Each structure stands twice: as C-alpha cells, then as structure tokens.
C-alpha cells in the first residue's frame, strides 16, 4: 500500500478490545460467529512516505541479484530521521531513552485528527488551533496534525524550510495533557534552521515522554475525527530515531467498540429490541420478572447481565449525626415497605434516601483522601482491571469522598462479588499508600438497576455533571466515559467526542489502561485471579 492508497482490511479487530486511557488493549481470539457479528470491517489508511533511492538521507545499493546469486537483496543506507520516522529521547539528549527501549504502547494510540488544511507556511501551531478537541482530549490519547504539508515532499528545500511548526504553548500543553503521540506531516516539529527553537521544542516533548512522529503523509485520506494510530519503528540498538511504518485504522461505521458489543451476547426479555448497530444492543435493562433481591444493611437487586449505577463512599464521608438520623428514617420506611418493591416504591426510596446521601457527599465531608491523584489511580486501576472479563465499564467518576460507576455485568458474575473485589483491593492499597490502617469504605453501597434507555441517559448525565455540581476544580476528580455513554449524551446536545476524562492516569505509566504494572501484579496476587477473600472494608 503506498501513501496515496487506503484499503479495507480482510479481518476484523477482535471482540474484547477496548480503549484504555487512549490505548487499545490486545485483542482476544475471534471465532467465526464473532466475525459475522462484528461488522463492518475496519479500514486501514497508510500514512507513510515511500522511501526512494536518492531522497534526503536514503541510498540503496544492490547487494545480490537473482542472476548472479539466486536472490535479490539490497543494502539500505538510511539516515535515522529519513522519511516518516520516530524520534527517541537521545535525538536531542532529552533523556536516556533510545528507539529500541521505546515501549510499544507509546507507538500505538487512539488519536484525534486536527484539520489544519490550508495553514500558511511557517505558521506556529498553537493550542488555539486545536479548537474544541482541546476540551475533549483524554490523557493518553494522541494528536495527528493534518496540514497537507506532505504534498511538498517532492520539493525538498521548500518541504524542509517553510513548514508550519509547533509553538511553545502547544508543546507544553501536550506535556500537561499527557499526549501519547504527536504526529506531524513536516519533517520536524520545529524550525530546522533555528537550532535554539529546534532543541527547545524537542526537549519539551521528548523529555516528557511524548512520542514524536514526523514526516507523516496521506492524512487527507482520513475521514474520521478520531482514529486508531500505529507507528512501528525498527528495533535498532541505541537508536536516536528510526524510519517507521505509520497507519491509521478507521471503523467503517464508527460503531461500538468490540468489547461492548460481543457477538456472543445472550438475548433476554430484559434487553431492549435493537437495530444491528445500536449502541444499546448488548445492555440488559431492568425486567422485574428476572430480578432477585437480597438484603445486607441496604436492599440490593440482582439481574443476570444487568446494567447498574453504583455508589460507594469513604467511611468518614458523612457526619455521624446526619447518618444516624438518616438510618432511623430508612429503617422505619423499609419496615413499612419490605422488598420486593414496585416502581413507585423504588422511586420513593431513591428520592428519600440515596438522593439525600448524594447531597451530603457533594458537600465534601471527611478527609476526602480521593482528592489525592495517587489514591484515585488505584481506584481507576481496580475498576478497569476486569473490564471485559467480569463487567463492562460504561462510565465512572471518582469524587473526593465517593465513587459512582455505571457498568453492566457479564454472565455468571454477581453485583456483590464485583463490588467486594473493588472495595477490598482498593482499601488495602490506599491504606498502604497513605500509611494508615482501619476501614476505608463504608461497608455497604447503593446500587440501582437501569430500567431503560432514558434512565441510562439520566444516570450518565448525572455522572458527567457531578464534579461541576459539587464545584470541584480540575485535578480533584477523575471522570471517564466510554463510547456508549459519550455518544448517548453528545447526541442529546452535550460535549461531542468519544470520551471526556480528567485525571485518568496516562497509559504510558503502565499497562491495562493506566494500571501500573506493579499494582496490576498486586491485584492478581491479592485476588488470586478471583474475588479477594479479605473482609470488605
């Protein structure tokens, strides 16, 4: 495939993939049934300049021929930054990293395509040029700046001397927003004839582990605002950079990620009737005939494969006097209204009890240890760890003293078991992080089965607005939305884009979408690959 071509792949990206902090998880194996369901296929677009003998930094030498040696082979003489290429930290002494040490997760990412077609020669590209993408960008995602500059590749001097370049404010924004990859069409991100600027911009980006891909081509063939981007370099020992093969993947329908649309999903009477590409196709909503209830200190509902809105909170999040009054009122009410409830009773319960708790939680009582990013990272990691295996995570917000999660259970997994794992593991790790002991979470939690699409949208909107309603500042919360939630809300006039996050750990910090590798190992060790046996905190 050359730089002017695009093709549709013959295979389907596997069910079980998901976007994690901008990184696509490794695919699971796909059987033929899943191949038939996961339609349409994905479109591959080559974004690489063709290396030709005689172009700047490229020379080919015929080493073997079929006539003389029985096979053809050439010796390639390549400048390490020829054509489409990746820079390593050592390129500008911005750090010790060489190209062979660059983690693969820093070479692949979901990427926003910033359309700057027609931008004037030598224009500094600033944050303002990003438009609303700046507000929709999620840490760990990438940027591809589509300037059309690759059209000048055939005029080497103009291509090298007059290109739009990255302004200081955009370089620093990339660091602050934890951009994974910054991809540009010109041969560099900065003026190659200005050594001070060239060094400064590269050091800002490379020093913060922002992967730089320069010399991209064919970005005009991209039709989606957001694509999955890959730039694969050769593994050259000690390399300061390397030519790479860069390409993008676009889904033919812009449809639901495979992790949220498994072809093996079982139909039940609790599932809404849906069209083939419906975002809700694999979400089970409340059907009282399929629900069982159980009681700990609060009544809980369980529906096999159901979709839930769950809140769990820190032990000190509500003043004791308020809690005692609330508990007394609830006990009186539940004696008069024993489970199972009808819809009217459930609505009354939610209004009189969980809604009041939500108001108190947003007032920010207690130590609010989740205001600390390192504590929130532990919760993020736990929520995502069994995504696609035990549950499908749809949206979450981690507030200073409580957590809201919208998710659906996968078959044969129970709500109380999933919550037990989240709370017991995070209690252990957060206490260890803070050097303290004792109960971290309140023992119980609030859960609510999602009744229908309208209820789903209402809960998703509540999660999105919770930080704003609680008057939190940036850095005090972590908000994450999957594609289903973002698309549902955006279609109704909210933010556009596939996700909106604040404070999600950058995927480059470790695998599993922001789950640091050491913490991931602890999770497996402490849960034994299944629910932790320690008492729920």
Same domain, 442 and 329: yes
Lowest-pLDDT range of 48-57, 283-292, 352-361, 432-441: 283-292
Which of these, 458, 465, 480, lies nearest to 362 by C-alpha position? 465
Whether residue 241 sits in one domain with residue 96:
yes
- Of 234, 251, 268, the one marking the end of a domain is 251
Q: State the pLDDT at residue 140.
A: 87
Joined together, the tokens standing for residue 63 give: 């080493």
Q: Is the pLDDT of residue 8 over 90?
A: no
Calculate mean pLDDT across residues 314-337.
77
pLDDT for residue 250 is more than 80 = yes
Q: Are residues 192 and 244 in the same domain?
A: yes
Average pLDDT over residues 509-529: 42
Structural domain ending residue among the three candidates 251, 269, 303: 251
Whether 500 is in a domain gets the answer: yes
16-35: per-residue pLDDT in tens? Answer: 333 333 333 333 333 333 33
- Residue 310: strand pairing partners: 405, 447
Give the per-residue pLDDT at 360.
Answer: 67
Give the whole-number percent of the chain exceeding pLDDT 90: 45
Q: What is the CATH number of the domain that holds 212?
A: 3.50.30.50
In 362-439, which ranges are E strands? 391-398, 402-409
- Is 345 a domain residue? yes
Do 232 and 342 share a domain, yes or no?
no
Q: Is the pLDDT of residue 137 over 60?
A: yes
Residues 6+ apart with CB under 8 A from 319: 360, 365
In a shared domain, residues 307 and 433 = yes
CATH of the domain at 474: 3.30.70.1290
Strand partners, 309: 406, 448
Q: How many domains does the chain have?
A: 2
Nearest to 142 by CA among 199, 90, 219, 203: 219
User: Residue 256's pLDDT is what?
Assistant: 28
In this structure, are 227 and 292 located in the same domain?
no
Same-domain pairing of 149 and 245: yes
Of 342 and 537, which is predicted with more confidence?
342
- Say yes or no: 231 and 287 in one domain: no
Query: Residue 522 falls within a domain, yes or no?
Result: yes
Same domain, 330 and 208: no
Where is the domain boundary, 251, 274, 294? 251
DSSP string, 236-297: -TT-SEEEEEEEEEEESS----GGGS-TTPPP-TTBPP--TT-TTTT-B---GGGEEEEESS
**Phi, psi angle pair for 522, to nearest 5°:** -65, -40
Q: Are residues 332 and 436 in the same domain?
A: yes
Is the distance from CB of 92 to CB of 214 less than 8 angstroms? no
Say whether both 288 and 224 belong to one domain.
no
Domain that holds residue 206: 17-65+72-251
Contacts with 19 (C-beta within 8 Å, 6 or more apart), sequence order: 110, 257, 482, 483, 498, 499, 513
Domain match, 241 and 317 both? no
Q: If you ran DSSP here, which 8-state letter would residue 27 be given?
A: P
With respect to residue 12, please indicate whether it lies within any of the assigned structural domains: no
Identify the three-state secondary structure at position 504.
coil
* Residue 482 lies inside a defined structural domain of this protein: yes
User: Residue 270: inside a domain, yes or no?
Assistant: no
- The mean pLDDT of the chain is 76
Give the pLDDT band of residue 359 (cuts 50, 70, 90). Answer: low
417 exposed, middle or buried (CB, 10 Å; 0-12, 13-18, 19+)?
A: middle
Q: Is residue 271 part of a domain?
A: no
Does the residue 428 lie in any domain? yes
Structure confidence by residue, pLDDT tens digits, 38-91: 333 578 999 999 999 999 999 999 999 999 999 999 999 999 999 999 999 999
pLDDT tier for residue 333 given thresholds of 50, 70 and 90: confident
Residue 531 CA to chain centroid, in angstroms?
25
Sign of CA dihedral 395, 385, 256, 147: positive
Residue 159 scores a pLDDT above 70: yes
Q: Which tens digit of pLDDT belongs to each residue from 447-486?
A: 888 888 888 888 999 899 889 888 888 888 999 888 888 8
């Amino acid at each position: 495939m050359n730089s002017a071509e695009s093709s549709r792949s013959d295979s389907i990206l596997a069910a079980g993939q998901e976007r994690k902090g901008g990184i696509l998880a490794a695919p699971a194996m796909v059987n033929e049934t899943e191949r038939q369901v996961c339609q349409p296929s994905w479109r591959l677009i080559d974004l690489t300049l063709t290396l030709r003998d005689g172009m700047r930094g490229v020379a080919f030498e015929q080493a073997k021929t079929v006539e003389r040696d029985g096979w053809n082979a050439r010796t390639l003489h390549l400048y390490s930054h020829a054509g489409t290429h990746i820079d390593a930290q050592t390129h500008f002494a911005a750090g010790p990293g060489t190209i062979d040490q660059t983690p693969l997760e820093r070479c692949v990412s979901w990427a926003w395509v910033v359309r700057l077609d027609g931008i004037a020669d030598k224009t500094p590209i600033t944050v303002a040029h990003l438009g609303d993408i700046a507000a929709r960008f999620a840490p760990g995602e990438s940027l591809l700046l589509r300037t059309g500059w690759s059209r000048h590749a055939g005029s080497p001097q103009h291509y090298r001397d007059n290109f739009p370049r990255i302004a200081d404010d955009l370089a620093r924004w990339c660091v602050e927003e934890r951009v994974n990859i910054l991809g540009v069409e010109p041969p560099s991100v900065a003026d190659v004839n200005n050594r001070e600027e060239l060094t400064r911009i590269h050091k800002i980006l490379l020093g913060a582990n922002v992967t730089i891909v320069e010399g991209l081509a064919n970005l005009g063939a991209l039709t989606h605002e957001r694509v999955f981007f890959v730039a694969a370099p050769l593994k050259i020992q000690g390399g300061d950079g390397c030519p790479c093969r860069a390409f993008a993947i676009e889904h033919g329908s812009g449809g639901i990620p495979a992790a949220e649309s498994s072809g093996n999903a079982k139909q039940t009477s609790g599932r809404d009737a849906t069209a083939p590409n419906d975002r809700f196709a694999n979400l089970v909503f409340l059907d009282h005939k399929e629900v069982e209830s159980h009681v700990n200190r609060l009544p809980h509902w369980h529906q096999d494969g159901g979709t839930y809105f769950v809140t769990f909170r820190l032990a000190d999040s509500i003043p004791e006097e308020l809690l005692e009054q609330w508990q007394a009122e609830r006990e009186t009410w539940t004696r008069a209204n024993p489970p199972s409830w009808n819809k009217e009773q459930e609505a009354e319960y939610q209004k009189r009890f969980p809604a009041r708790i939500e108001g108190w939680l947003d007032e920010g009582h207690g130590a609010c240890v989740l205001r600390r990013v390192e504590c929130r990272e532990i919760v993020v990691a736990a929520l995502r760890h069994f995504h696609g295996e035990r549950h499908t995570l749809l949206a979450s917000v981690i507030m200073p003293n409580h957590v809201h999660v919208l998710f659906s259970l996968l078959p044969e997994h129970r709500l109380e078991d999933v919550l037990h794992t989240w709370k017991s593991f995070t209690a252990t790790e957060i206490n260890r992080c803070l050097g303290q002991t004792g109960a971290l979470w309140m023992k119980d939690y609030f859960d609510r089965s999602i009744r229908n699409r309208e209820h789903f949208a209402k809960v998703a909107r509540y999660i999105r607005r919770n930080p704003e309603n609680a008057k939190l500042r940036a850095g005090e919360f972590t908000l994450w939305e999957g594609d289903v939630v973002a698309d549902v809300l955006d279609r109704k006039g909210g933010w556009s884009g596939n996700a909106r996050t604040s404070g999600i750990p950058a995927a480059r910090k470790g695998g599993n979408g922001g789950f640091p590798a050491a913490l991931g190992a602890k999770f497996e060790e402490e849960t034994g690959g299944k629910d932790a046996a320690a008492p729920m905190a």
